[in-house]
């Protein structure tokens, strides 16, 4: 029963993401772009990143490959995305290690 409920929650939440302009990395549907730093770097206003979001990103094929403090690095198909979280949002950008 718990497993079924968990799968249902993930399945319903999976539709709450949309692809961003940065390698189509998923962002929450209601996250708003606050600042455009470049064509590959944005600040989003949102409540931040939680475990469910990380699980959803994994379902989209993104694997967390590194983290340090508020920085998390994700990789998919040889592309890397840096995600930096803070109190009222997060930054995403193409990793400079590409």
Residues whose CB is less than 8 angstroms from the CB of residue 86 and which lie 6 or more positions away in sequence, other chains included: 48, 70
Contact 46, 29 (CB under 8 A): no
**pTM score:** 0.80
Query: Using one digit for the tens of pLDDT, what is the confidence trace for 44-57?
Result: 998 767 788 888 89
Contact 93, 37 (CB under 8 A): yes
Phi and psi torsions of 77, nearest 5°? 50, 40
Query: Using one digit for the tens of pLDDT, what is the confidence trace for 54-96?
Result: 888 998 999 999 999 999 999 999 999 999 988 889 999 998 7
CA-based angle 88:94:95, to the nearest 5? 100
């Amino acid at each position: 029963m718990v497993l079924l409920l968990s799968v249902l929650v993930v399945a319903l939440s999976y539709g709450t993401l949309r692809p961003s302009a940065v390698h189509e990395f998923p962002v929450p549907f209601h996250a708003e772009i606050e600042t455009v730093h470049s064509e590959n770097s944005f600040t989003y206003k949102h409540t931040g990143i939680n475990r469910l979001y990380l699980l959803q990103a994994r379902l989209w094929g993104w694997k967390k490959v590194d983290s340090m403090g508020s920085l998390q690095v994700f990789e998919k198909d040889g592309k890397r995305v840096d995600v930096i979280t803070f109190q009222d949002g997060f930054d995403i950008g193409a990793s400079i290690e590409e």
